[in-house]
Amino acid sequence: MFGIKKKKAPDGASGASRSMTIYLEPLNARAQHGLRNRRPGSHSFELLTYAPALIGQIDAGVGKRRTAVKIGMNLFLWTINVTEDLFPLFPKLKAAGYEGLEIPIARANKPIYVNIRKVLDDLGMQCTTIFNLGADLNPISPDKAVRERALDELKWAIDTSRGLLRSEALVGPYYSAYAVFSGKGPTTHELKWSAEVMRDAAAYAGDLRMSIEFLNRFETYLLNTTGQTVSLVDDVKHLNFGILYDTHHAHREENNICAAITTAGDRINHVHFSESQRGTLGTGLVDWIGTVKALKKINYQKWIMVESFSKEVLSEKAHVWRNSFPAKEEVYENAIGFVRNLWENVSAD
């Protein structure tokens, strides 16, 4: 387990010079059980100095530095339905150093996607889109009419992503209905039905990248591991169709993180960095060093989206009953440096 340690700027510093130093710190067994009084020890190393995003300036060129991957922020921390009220957040995320946002989309949401794209264009930001399906639109329903409606809904999501938002990828667990259970494991028929719907959707999507997210056993039963998702992706057989690897779900379900990632290889075409308790990156149990080592081994160079959940937004849908962070600002201000420094300081060897 690794933790974040911040060192405040010297007294009297102000503006862009008032920065913080981030440490990626191995924690001992006692610390992993809740000790808060963590200090950089002999095995700690200083990673990055950056200025707080809220002052609108990035210290030491951090906001301009490019890594081999693109780093973005998933908006589930704030909402499942983006409205104009959230627009003032976008420049803060840009100032923090994020290159793009992951936008939740749904047919029931307020249709302001053109306005969202305009704000992103004004800021020079890119986006991906995240989407799921409900019980009445289940791609693995035994009812063919339901599966056809699921495909129609996926086509709407593809059109919205590609046309209105100019998204680089449509991601999510849309291979089956979210949080709908049969009481048994996946059947051969269900896997076949899912592959058929995904194959038709991928063909319709053309050059829009599609990325399906396996979830932990408490949120779905069709795909819980990277290996299961590899099998479905291989069955679909479309170059634009791959795996969304989420560190939160992998932490819960995989036996060997490195093996899961390296076996999937270039089928992984999208990544979520999300902590074990859905809080600030580096404060939970995810094996960040092992994850980055493995991603570098497969030469991953696409999006890493930071994802954190709050009880105000996802208590009912994702059973988030408590916030694992003191403030949402801490999540996104700390995460950008945390991810960049992992990527720049951890090698594949």
Copy the structure tokens of residue 22.
């981030």
Residue 26's pLDDT band (cuts 50, 70, 90): very low
Residues 31 and 123 in one domain: no
Residues 273 and 133 in one domain: yes
Residues 27 and 88 in one domain: no
∠ Cα 77 86 94 (to 5°): 80
Residues 42 and 87 in one domain: no
- Residue 218 is predicted with a pLDDT of 86
Best mean pLDDT range from 26-40, 61-75, 204-218: 204-218
Residues 53 and 99 in one domain: no
- Residue range 5-23: average pLDDT? 41
- Residue 120 is predicted with a pLDDT of 98
- Residue 241 is predicted with a pLDDT of 98
pLDDT in tens, 257-285: 999 999 999 999 999 999 988 888 999 99
Residue 28 has pLDDT above 60, yes or no: no
- Residue 337 is predicted with a pLDDT of 97
Q: Which residue has the higher pLDDT, 325 or 235?
A: 235
- The answer to whether 46 touches 283, Cβ cutoff 8 Å, is no
Boundary (domain end) residue, out of 61, 78, 107: 61
Residue 42 has pLDDT above 80, yes or no: no
Give the domain extent around 57: 1-61
Boundary (domain end) residue, out of 42, 61, 80: 61
What is the residue type of 129? T
Q: Which residue has the higher pLDDT, 336 or 38?
A: 336
- Residue range 218-230: average pLDDT? 95
- The answer to whether 195 touches 232, Cβ cutoff 8 Å, is yes
Residues 297 and 153 in one domain: yes
Residue 22 has pLDDT above 70, yes or no: no
Strand-strand pairing, 20-26 and 45-50: antiparallel
Residue 44 has pLDDT above 90, yes or no: no
Number of domains the chain contains: 2
pLDDT in tens, 171-195: 999 999 997 889 999 999 999 999 9
Boundary (domain end) residue, out of 27, 46, 61: 61
Lowest mean pLDDT among 48-52, 251-255, 278-282: 48-52
The dihedral of CA 195, 198, 204, 208: what is its sign? Answer: negative
Which of 112, 104, 51 shows the shortest CA–CA distance to 76? 104
Q: What percent of the chain is helix, strand and coil (3-state, nearest 5)? A: 40, 15, 40
- Residue 88 is predicted with a pLDDT of 98
As a whole number, the mean pLDDT across the chain is: 83
Residues 327 and 265 in one domain: yes
Residues 109 and 221 in one domain: yes
pLDDT in tens, 81-103: 999 999 999 999 999 999 999 99
Write the CATH number for 288: 3.20.20.150
Residues 89 and 40 in one domain: no
Which of 95, 78, 102, 64 shows the shortest CA–CA distance to 272? 102
pLDDT in tens, 146-169: 999 999 999 999 999 999 999 999
Residues 51 and 115 in one domain: no
Those residues with Cβ within 8 angstroms of residue 20's Cβ, 6 or more apart along the chain or in another chain: 6, 7, 8, 9, 49, 50, 51, 52
Residue 318 has pLDDT above 90, yes or no: no
Copy the structure tokens of residue 108.
């029931």
- Residue 319 is predicted with a pLDDT of 60
Residues 147 and 2 in one domain: no
- The answer to whether 126 touches 90, Cβ cutoff 8 Å, is no
Distance, CA of 34 to CA of 266 (rounded, Å): 37
The dihedral of CA 90, 94, 97, 99: what is its sign? Answer: positive
Q: Which residue has the higher pLDDT, 208 or 63?
A: 208
Residues 43 and 78 in one domain: no
Sheet holding 45-50, edge to edge: 2-7, 20-26, 45-50
Distance, CA of 153 to CA of 140 (rounded, Å): 14
Residue 35 has pLDDT above 90, yes or no: no
* % residues pLDDT > 90 (the chain): 69
- Residue 63 is predicted with a pLDDT of 43
